[in-house]
A and B are shown apart, each in its own frame.
Chain A
Amino acid sequence: MTTTVPPQILDLVSRVTGDEKHDPSAHSTLDVLWVLYDQVLDVAPDRVDDPDRDRFLLSKGHGPASTYAVLAARGFFPVEWLDDVASWDSRLGHHPDRTLVPGVEIGSGSLGHGLPIAVGTALGLRARGSSARVVVLVGDAELDEGSNAEAIVVAARFGLGNLTCVVVDNDSDPLGWPGGIGARFAVEGWATAEARTSDHAALRDALLRTERDRPTVVVADASRRATGVAA
């Protein structure tokens, strides 16, 4: 268990991106990914087909360097795969493909698909009597897609306590969310929590907390304001 993303993980991210310096603002999802796989999710490389594994769905398929780095660090595939991302011979693309990468639960890239799929998987796990959780990561700008609005309602009405949606808010939505992102979920009955991505203890607590009869949204503040990175 760590309180910051370990340097070796940042090195793995750099192997994907080719950047020598570690710019935290370039990887707004990395903190969430690391806390999830380090402290929250019940999944491991030898259990990628276990029906009762916890699922992490990267809905925001853009910039999957953080996901690839964390999965490689946890042993889901060899770290050497990070060195030639998106080449002809690589299984790792600029958007991930679940059929090519062990540990990747959905292929994503087109925005607004992960949350509806996560709702279906949470319904399916509940129907099978599984205690596994589904955690789906979306971006604040990705929430623009109307499919998310559909899924937010459905998840709440079906009382999906096994579903957590992490919204990584890096202030990239052009039109903004007056009243806050969490309010969009709260009005439909979701439990809400907020944490700065730089505060791993708070992130962990928010990601571990679930309620039996309703889904949870964690708004992870990755804005420059929250991470202390100068604009």
Chain B
Amino acid sequence: MSDMRARFYAELDPVLDAQPDAVVVLAVIGAEGAAPAAARHPGRVIDVGIREQALVGVAGGLALAGLRPIVHTYAPFLVERAYEQLKLDLGHQDVGALLVSTGASYDASTAGRTHQAPADVALVSALPGWEVHVPGHEDELAGIVRREAATTRRVYVRMSALQNDRAYPVDGRLHLVRDAAGDAPLVVAVGPLLGPALEAARDLPVRVAYTATPHPLDTAGLRDLAGGTPVLAVVEPYLEGTSAAQVSAALADRPSRVHHVGVPRDAELRRYGTPRDHAAAHGLDAAGIRRRVKGLLG
């Protein structure tokens, strides 16, 4: 298993081969990784310099000219710095782009708050017409990028440093990964938190389901798995409660108890260290998730 980011750069060359309308747009970050694809496809990897407003604005203009922009940089610069461009230069113009971010939540743990954007999924999914994918494995990433490079949709793909042991289908569905009694509490794990969630649940009477697509959430699948009186935990590697509105709407017709587990939104963690340190501080390592899941039992 390689680094998800390295895999993304490796995919660019075959994607540009397969999709004649695809164009990669960068703001310096990723230029080195994309260099082989740029050499093989002159003019189809556009680096605008450290200019994120232009990054997304240019992508919108390319889409208006009928091309398929693949836009890549660090999550905070792609989503937060250029948020109005996502809203207006893509959404309001009714055109699409494939955005692929690196630096998920606290992956850049040593870089500090400037390079962290745990609210990215909440922000993107607050805009109309976006799909958000959080692959938990490099093969999932490759599948999503290949597929979405061929569409005209508005798609946000969030790459992570942490990966699961194996890939699951990237069909937008919830997949039951660990079964238990039919009425046992359900843990819904998103993207790279499946591994820690499975470890957390190892000897607990709970079921574990997985998705790489939190938005739109597979609400039909959730209703099927959750049953008539749902007891569940939604474990997401970004801002806590990001999927709460979708989950609550899906279960509005039945009495339910739901714990939302994610990056806490009430305080900025002013520490460095490793992503593992940050996961533990946020309660997103196996031990922390286990504490929250146990709260569903009894």
Main secondary structure of the interface of B (DSSP, over half): helix
Q: C-beta contact mask, A12-30 vs B, less than 8 Å → 1, else 0?
A: 0000000000000000000
Main secondary structure of the interface of A (DSSP, over half): helix
Residues from chain B with a CB closer than 8 A to the CB of A51 are 65-66
Chain A residue at minimal CB-CB distance from B84? A110
B51–A105 contact, CB under 8 A? no
B38 CB-CB contact with A under 8 Å: no
A106-B64, A127-B44, A154-B58 in contact; A113/B51 too (CB < 8 A)? no
Residues from chain A with a CB closer than 8 A to the CB of B65 are 51, 120-121, 123-125, 127-128
Chain B interface residue number, banded: 20 to 34
User: Quick one: which of B156-199 are within 8 Å of A by CB?
Assistant: none
Q: Whole-angstrom distance from the CB of B40 to the nearest CB of chain A?
A: 16
B66–A128 contact, CB under 8 A? yes
Residue in B63, B65, B89 with the greatest tally of chain A CB atoms within 10 Å: B65
B35 CB-CB contact with A under 8 Å: no
A107–B88 contact, CB under 8 A? yes
B243 CB-CB contact with A under 8 Å: no
Residues from chain A with a CB closer than 8 A to the CB of B44 are 127
Residues from chain A with a CB closer than 8 A to the CB of B23 are 123-124, 127
A209 CB-CB contact with B under 8 Å: no
Provide the bound-state CA to CA distance between A64 and B67, in Å.
Answer: 28
B93 CB-CB contact with A under 8 Å: yes
User: Quick one: which of A109-165 are within 8 Å of B by CB?
Assistant: 110, 112-113, 115-125, 127-128, 146-147, 150-151, 153-154, 158
Q: Whole-angstrom distance from the CB of B98 to the nearest CB of chain A?
A: 15
Q: Whole-angstrom distance from the CB of A138 to the nearest CB of chain B?
A: 13
B94 CB-CB contact with A under 8 Å: yes
Provide the bound-state CA to CA distance between A127 and B66, in Å.
Answer: 10
Provide the bound-state CA to CA distance between A123 and B57, in Å.
Answer: 12
Q: Whole-angstrom distance from the CB of B149 to the nearest CB of chain A?
A: 16
B88–A121 contact, CB under 8 A? no
Residues from chain A with a CB closer than 8 A to the CB of B94 are 98-99
Provide the bound-state CA to CA distance between A123 and B65, in Å.
Answer: 9
Residue in A107, A124, A146, A154 whose beta carbon sits within 8 Å of that of B93 in the complex = A107
B67–A127 contact, CB under 8 A? yes
Provide the bound-state CA to CA distance between A217 and B53, in Å.
Answer: 21
Number of A-B pairs, beta carbon distance below 8 Å: 103
User: Quick one: which of B10-56 are within 8 Å of A by CB?
Assistant: 23, 43-44, 46, 48-49, 51, 53-54, 56
Number of interface residues of A (CB under 8 A): 30
A119–B57 contact, CB under 8 A? yes
Residues from chain A with a CB closer than 8 A to the CB of B57 are 113, 115-117, 119-120, 147, 150-151
Residues from chain B with a CB closer than 8 A to the CB of A98 are 93-94
A117–B66 contact, CB under 8 A? no
Q: Whole-angstrom distance from the CB of A204 to the nearest CB of chain B?
A: 26
A147–B54 contact, CB under 8 A? yes
User: Quick one: which of A182-215 are within 8 Å of B by CB?
Assistant: none
Residues from chain B with a CB closer than 8 A to the CB of A117 are 57-58, 60-61, 64, 89, 93
Q: Whole-angstrom distance from the CB of B15 to the nearest CB of chain A?
A: 16
Provide the bound-state CA to CA distance between A58 and B64, in Å.
Answer: 14
Provide the bound-state CA to CA distance between A123 and B23, in Å.
Answer: 10
B93–A120 contact, CB under 8 A? no
Provide the bound-state CA to CA distance between A124 and B60, in Å.
Answer: 10
A113–B46 contact, CB under 8 A? no
In the complex, 21 of the A-B residue pairs with CB atoms within 8 angstroms, ordered by the A residue number, are A51-B66, A107-B93, A116-B54, A117-B57, A117-B60, A117-B61, A119-B61, A120-B57, A120-B61, A121-B65, A124-B23, A124-B65, A127-B43, A127-B44, A127-B65, A150-B48, A150-B53, A153-B49, A154-B49, A154-B51, A154-B58
The 9 closest A-B pairs by CB, nearest first: A120-B61, A116-B57, A124-B65, A120-B58, A121-B61, A150-B51, A150-B54, A147-B53, A117-B61
Residues of A near any B CB (own CB < 8 A): 51, 97-99, 105-107, 110, 112-113, 115-125, 127-128, 146-147, 150-151, 153-154, 158
Q: Add 12 more A-B contacts to A110-B88, A116-B56, A120-B69 (CB < 8 A).
A: A107-B93, A112-B53, A116-B85, A117-B64, A118-B61, A123-B61, A124-B61, A124-B64, A147-B54, A150-B53, A150-B54, A151-B54
